[in-house]
Amino acid sequence: MVHLRFAQKSCKTVTRAERLCRPAFVDLPAREDRAIVVACLGSSSTAGKGQAFNWIHELQRRLNQKRFVFRNFGIGGDLAYNALQRLPGVIGIRPHKVVILIGGNDVLAFVFKKLRMFFRITKRLPRDASPGWFRENLQKMVRRLKTETAATVGLCSLPPIGEDPTSTNTCQGELNRRVQEFSAIIRELAARENTEYIPLYESLSAEIVKSPGRAFNEFRFLPFYRDAFRTVLLRKSPDEVGCMNGWRFHSDGVHLNSRSGLIVADLVQEFLEG
């Protein structure tokens, strides 16, 4: 009953947050009329609000003098199923390129039972998260984009959760296995559907191996609400919050700070310019 009351209360909070965090349509100054429209679809790591570094803003800064127009379709807490429901909005802007970074919440919901229940309520999921359901939803997204747009699609593999790649901790070890498993699904799907693959998992994992940090050994709601308070009300940056929490590549073990967010920006830029 305690968990249920908490989930119901949190449901109202998340609903209000979603209304405030609807997809942002931010246009770059285009030097020519025929701009390249880039749609970025994902969850909080794409939305770039609060604890998450905004790699789309970084790309806007870098590509300000080029013919790119970015549309941010990131909403915090989304799973692949939710991103699929919002695909008509992406198709409607007739993008030239689409970047999809989704799946971290699918992993978290699959690993943590209490978070699975939370997402079932707040995100109105028809079933529990699983690798197979993730693959199904991502495949539907790719095939609809291929048939209903002329866009080049780039699928990002997932950033690691936690920073201990060889951890003996049960929770961190399971997260390591699942992030690798879901990233392999993304890579295989990109090859099968003949879309571009953006190797975020491989690139960021290599950096974490060089400089490993702490393990993500449990999921608790309170620290995430605390960090949201720090970023939204106290105006702390993801880097500052990460330093407070003892993370090197994250702000909280899940959301990326600038050190890892800049890796995302580099890889997406290669995809856009390639």
Tell me which H or E stretch contains 3.
helix 2-20
Residue 10: the pLDDT is 36
Confirm if 101 and 156 have CB atoms less than 8 A apart.
yes
- Which pLDDT value is given to residue 34? 76
Instruction: State how far the Cα of 24 lies from the Cα of 79, in Å rounded to an integer.
Output: 18
Helix orientation angle between 55-62 and 258-273, rounded to the nearest 10 degrees: 50
Instruction: Specify if 98 maps to a domain.
Output: yes
In this structure, is residue 80 part of a structural domain?
yes
**Which residues, including other chains, have CB under 8 Å from residue 257's CB and lie 6 or more apart?**
53, 238, 239, 241, 242, 247, 249, 250, 251
Model pLDDT, residue 55: 97
Residues of the chain with pLDDT under 50: 1-32
Residue 255 in any domain: the answer is no
pLDDT at 224: 87
Residue 251, in any domain of the structure:
no
What is the per-residue pLDDT across 7-20, written as a single tens digit (0 to 9) for each? 333 333 344 334 43
pTM exceeds 0.75: yes
Residue 64 pLDDT: 77
In a domain, 231, yes or no: no
| Side-chain half-sphere exposure of 152, counting CA atoms within 13 A | 12
CA distances from 188 to 43, 130, 147, 184, 263 (A): 21, 17, 20, 6, 22
Position 49: which residue type? K
In angstroms, rounded to a whole number, what is the distance separating the alpha carbons of residues 144 and 142? 6
CATH number, domain of 30, equals 3.40.50.1110
Whether the Cβ atoms of residue 21 and residue 49 lie closer than 8 Å to each other: yes
99 domain residue, yes or no: yes
35 in a domain, yes or no?
yes
Which pLDDT tens digit goes with each residue over 121-170? 999 999 999 999 999 999 999 999 999 999 999 999 999 999 999 999 99
Instruction: Tell me which residue range forms the domain holding 43.
Output: 2-212+260-273
Count of domains observed in the chain: 1
